Structure 1
Amino acid sequence: MSRPIVAIVGRPNVGKSTLFNSLAGEKISIVKDYPGVTRDRIYADVTWLNYQFTMIDTGGIEMDTKDIMLSHMRQQAEIAIETADVIMFLVDVKQGLVDADFKVADMLRKSHKPVVLVVNKVDNFEKYMPDVYEFYNLGIGDPYPISASSKIGLGDMLDEVTSHFNKSLATEEEDERPRIAIVGKPNAGKSSIINKLLGEERVIVSDIAGTTRDAIDTAVKWNGKEYVFIDTAGLRRKSRIKEELERYSIVRTVAAVEKADLVLLVIDATEGVTEQDAKIAGIAHERGKGIIICVNKWDLIEKDNKTVAKYTDEIRRILSFMPYAQIMFISAKTGQRLPKVFETIETVIQYQNLRIATGVLNEIVTEAVAMQQPPSDKGKRLKIFYVTQVSVKPPTFVIFVNDKELMHFSYTRYLENRIRDAFGFTGTSLRFITRERKEK
């Protein structure tokens, strides 16, 4: 089940990042041990009661001139609107209601997405309530007063945000077709791959503002089975600001990856793996998706009998955190190996949904423990009682041990490798959760 996406939208300086950080708490260091994973965090996982969602901060840069600032905000809001399931519209009680707020409100109204109006910097309810009521004038419903910095009022606001989840996700749940996100840098050839897979030059890119994300989902039939491709290429707007564009394409990528079962990361063979590719790969890995790396434009590369090995080593080196990912060398232009893409997708989907009986799993783990002793510390040795698989997509295992502190990252990785040797799990990440049990 994909997590709902909640975007925070609003003018610069209304406290979007403060709210983002308050909600995301301390858990946000986006997995530190992957190179190239974003330092400026723009998305985080938030848990509220029994809901989990992905929150996106649309940031906001203060511009000197009014019109650039507005066009910039508009751009951000559009991206947030097209990717989000629920939008938090943040305004500032101390600045009061300003003209730009009305403009944003109009855009949000046209989106027909649920909007929660949040009035920030209300650090004294008594004093500011009359000013909060002002915001009813925006015509988008009840204002929720909060103080992001003091963390006041967040509960009521989150209750309102999460109340919209089931409605927007109910429609998605019935769709059983595998969903595949095609991600990668601009110009790596994502759209050409989809066009080629469709077997017709069908341009999915439509540059009309407000193109919704549904417009870029394309159903493709292969061997009588339907797949839905989610293309992140379709929505690149001309922006004067190069880095901002990168930032936004990451927002889109997060949204696409979130909604997908499997990710095709398209890399341009003429450029090799770039830092942005590593970021995108990190997002997919972190989200536990199936991953296939497609090295496109392979027809343009001069080859000898070592070329494939050389490219493969380089990809494995840079994306060392996902050794399980499948690598394919393709050409969207000539159609080289494209039929193989579907076979690989099928294989990865099967592994993502593979369940292993507890008995069989424990035989493998017992054998692994016999071959390499678990770590010990100050005379106390790690004991593994048993392992069981608790879910699929991605396959997730709980390891019951005598002392969680003794379970080193490296030993978990060793067990993962033994499990992969035994069962394959090609193309999908595995999750391991360590739980302590007192010895009887």
Structure 2
Amino acid sequence: MSFTLAIVGRPNVGKSTLFNRLVGKRLALVDDQPGVTRDLREGEARLGDLRFTVIDTAGLEEATDDSLQGRMRRLTERAVDMADICLFMLDARVGVTPSDEVFADILRKRAKYVILAANKAEGRAGEAGALEAYALGLGEPLRLSAEHGEGMGDLLHVLMPLAEEFADQAEQHQPETDISVDEDWDGEEELPIRWPTIDKPMQIAVVGRPNAGKSTLINKILGEDRLLTGPEAGITRDAISLTIDWNGLPVRMWDTAGMRKRAKVQEKLEKLSVSDGLRAVKFAEVVVVLLDAAIPFEQQDLRIADLAEREGRAVVVAVNKWDIEDEKQEKLRALKEAFERLLPQLRGAPLVTVSAKTGKGLDRLQAAIERAYETWNRRIPTAALNRWLVGMLEQHPPPAPQGKRIKLRYMTQAKTRPPGFVVMCSHPDKIPDSYSRYLVNGLRQDFDMPGTPIRLYMRGQGNKNPYKGRREKNAGALTKHLNKKPKGR
């Protein structure tokens, strides 16, 4: 998805009808009665060649208290803050109301991009209301009919350049991943790792549940209160990136909205969409999963860490609010045991205790991030890999399913960021997952690659070994060169 579009406006102007048309399904309830939508609803929209995320919101109410209407308004304001583009919808048959003018002022201050749309503009009944919309100062209004599908081409025309702009931004921030390795390289030493520079800083996403202390942690690293913090959960509403020099290490750090399970709108902790946080994980090279020491490793923490591993990012787990923990040693042992048990796919990943409030442990966090980044970029010589593979086969040979003996002929590293290895073998489809895990765990331990995602691919190639005969061929060429008679004799 290239960008997020939030549809906002007064109740009963046709927001849910347009949402259903963009997603191509009747996902949102539609009725003539105002205020049917009370919740945020996300969908995958399709308009021409564009693919994007669309959010249907509750109608903007003027209430600001803790009533249901007040809570619905705050939830809609969240959607405005986290969306890339806001589509502000009016009812062209009613015209511009005082409420529309209030909400237009809010959007001018809070929204990044605003598209003004006059809905129900089919026929002559909506002409006057569409003309009135110019007075809001939000540009030329699009004349739409969400119910009949009119004006969709005009909407596509307006969205297209914005989509290209967001695509360019995404390409600039997108880190280099799955970099191919020259398989002909057979050196005995590892190649030096390319470290971040001012032009290409290390990209770090700080993710976790709401109120874990993500913004406080980044403020402490910055040395100033750049990000809004407070005791309330869910203050941060969208992914914010800051480029800083962290004790000589150039980094672009992403502060993200708290990721948690869907909550009811009536609860005090209003639910947040996690789409921006997920996008930040994809932009990152190192993901810091920040836990609350009081309630570590809840289900959502595990999902966030697993997402980072599946995306192939280096992972560091940081336990915040350590300064208020009483039984530190006992708690640390319990944390490490729970980490190994609940996240075996990240076995050995750094687990660091910090206090975002006091700044204690930030030096250990930086060292852990640098170590994780180095491991994520590591490249192992083919010769060393094949010597290691022989030892692993002698220690524990592969099984022989249905009496078919599996031969693992040779191994090479195909990619870095994260490390990816290819094992050429017979019957690759017969190798059980348990044996692949045995090899991955061995790679982690013997080549000092704790915690980083490791990709292992089994590939069949018959009896062909591209490395077989290479030395004999080189030796033959040398002998031929030495036996060659000099010219003129």
- What range describes the TM-score normalised by the shorter chain of this pair? 0.5 to 0.7
Verify: 1:438 aligned to 2:462, yes or no.
yes
Cα deviation digits, residues 334-359 of structure 1 (max 9, x gap) = 32221111111111111111111122
Q: Give the CA deviation at 1:18.
A: 6.7
Q: Give the CA deviation at 1:289.
A: 0.8
* Structure 1: gaps spanning 5 or more residues: 20-41, 45-52, 90-98, 115-130, 144-156
TM norm structure 1: 0.66
Q: Give the CA deviation at 1:132.
A: 5.8
AA in 2 matched with 1:431:
R
Equivalence for 2:217 = 193
Structure 2 residue matching 1:306: 3-state secondary structure:
helix
Equivalence for 2:82 = 79
AA in 2 matched with 1:278:
L
Structure 2 residue matching 1:205: 3-state secondary structure:
coil
Please tell me whether the aligned partners of residues 56 and 251 of structure 1 are also in contact (alpha carbons under 8 angstroms): no
Please tell me whether the aligned partners of residues 269 and 296 of structure 1 are also in contact (alpha carbons under 8 angstroms): yes
Q: 2 CA distance for matches of 1:172 and 1:429?
A: 21
- Could you tell me the percent identity over the aligned residues? 27
TM norm structure 2: 0.60
Cα deviation digits, residues 185-235 of structure 1 (max 9, x gap) = 1111111111211223x132399xxx9968x22233233221121101499
Task: Decide which of 435, 439, 442 is 1:411's aligned counterpart.
Answer: 435
RMSD in angstroms over aligned alpha carbons? 4.7
Q: 2 CA distance for matches of 1:241 and 1:364?
A: 58
Verify: 1:377 aligned to 2:380, yes or no.
no
Equivalence for 1:297 = 321
Please tell me whether the aligned partners of residues 265 and 292 of structure 1 are also in contact (alpha carbons under 8 angstroms): yes
AA in 2 matched with 1:205:
L
Equivalence for 2:99 = none
Equivalence for 1:168 = 169
The structure number with the bigger radius of gyration is 2
Cα deviation digits, residues 263-293 of structure 1 (max 9, x gap) = 1111110112211111211111111111111
Structure 2 residue matching 1:378: 3-state secondary structure:
helix
Please tell me whether the aligned partners of residues 2 and 167 of structure 2 are also in contact (alpha carbons under 8 angstroms): no
Q: Give the CA deviation at 1:298.
A: 1.1
> CA 1:195–1:162 in structure 2 vs 1: closer, same or farther (change >3 Å)?
closer
Equivalence for 1:14 = 20
Q: Give the CA deviation at 1:66.
A: 13
Q: 1 CA distance for matches of 2:409 and 2:300?
A: 41
Cα deviation digits, residues 312-333 of structure 1 (max 9, x gap) = 1123323333213210111122
Q: Which has the higher contact order (CA 8 A, sep 6+)?
A: 1
Verify: 1:205 aligned to 2:211, yes or no.
no
Equivalence for 1:150 = none
Q: Give the CA deviation at 1:112.
A: 5.4
Equivalence for 2:473 = none
Q: 2 CA distance for matches of 1:190 and 1:203?
A: 12
Please tell me whether the aligned partners of residues 43 and 57 of structure 1 are also in contact (alpha carbons under 8 angstroms): yes
Q: 1 CA distance for matches of 2:319 and 2:278?
A: 21
How do 1:389-400 residues align onto structure 2 when only pairs under 5 Å count? 389-400=413-424
Please tell me whether the aligned partners of residues 202 and 285 of structure 2 are also in contact (alpha carbons under 8 angstroms): yes
Q: 2 CA distance for matches of 1:373 and 1:79?
A: 53
> CA 1:386–1:406 in structure 2 vs 1: closer, same or farther (change >3 Å)?
same
Q: 2 CA distance for matches of 1:392 and 1:161?
A: 33
> CA 1:377–1:181 in structure 2 vs 1: closer, same or farther (change >3 Å)?
same
Q: Give the CA deviation at 1:78.
A: 5.0
Q: Give the CA deviation at 1:372.
A: 0.9
Equivalence for 1:25 = none
Equivalence for 2:153 = 136
Q: 2 CA distance for matches of 1:162 and 1:392?
A: 31
